[in-house]
Structures are given as structure tokens and as C-alpha cells.
Amino acid sequence: MQCLEKTITIVNKLGLHARAATKLAQLSQQFDAQVTLTLDGNEADAQSVMALMLLAGGQGKSVTIKAQGNDAQIALNSICQLINDKFDESE
């Protein structure tokens, strides 16, 4: 089973706050893949809103996304797109 990894910078002003974490968790749940985010040595299951919020990912922080499973590539691409799109928030 392939394990993919990509490091990306959080670009939205508010970082990985409640609404952004919820969007990311809901997106992660759509895929047949185990997705984790790592920031400053802390790891979080991408399907857990609380775990994502505990990462305290602020603007400008680099987060490493790991995806493993049948949908690993699409999950990784979709999550990177969501982060690059600033979680679809108007700032």
C-alpha cells in the first residue's frame, strides 16, 4: 500500500481554526485513506476536528500531510488544494 507525503504551508489568515479544521476533517472522511497531519513534531488524524485544532497550525506554518490507502493520491491532492484555497474562506 502506497504512502504519500507532502509538506505544505498554511496560507489562510486564521490558520487551522475550528471552521477550517472541520472542513479538512469532512474532506478526509470522503476517502479510503488514512490521512495524518504533522506540525512541529505533533501528529493528528485528519478525520478528527479536535486533533487538527490541537496542532495549532497558524498562518505561515508548514504542515506535512501523509496519506496511505487506496485513495491516498486523491486525498493528498484534495487536502493540499483545500489548504491552498485558504479553506474557501474570504479573508
Distance CA 54, CA 73 (A): 25
What percent of the chain clears pLDDT 90, i.e. is strictly above it? 92
pLDDT value for 28 = 98
Q: What CATH number is given for 3-88 in this structure?
A: 3.30.1340.10
pLDDT value for 42 = 96
The average pLDDT across 36-44 equals 96
Cβ-Cβ contacts under 8 Å for 84 (sequence gap 6 or more) = 8, 11
Q: How confident is the model at residue 41 (pLDDT cuts 50, 70, 90)?
A: very high
Q: For residue 2, is pLDDT > 90? A: no
Q: The whole model's pTM is what? A: 0.94
DSSP SS3 for 48: coil
Helix (H) / strand (E) containing 44: strand 42-45
Which sequence positions are flagged as catalytic?
A: 17
Domain ranges of the chain: 3-88
The average pLDDT across 60-87 equals 97
Do 23 and 29 form a contact (C-beta atoms < 8 A)? no
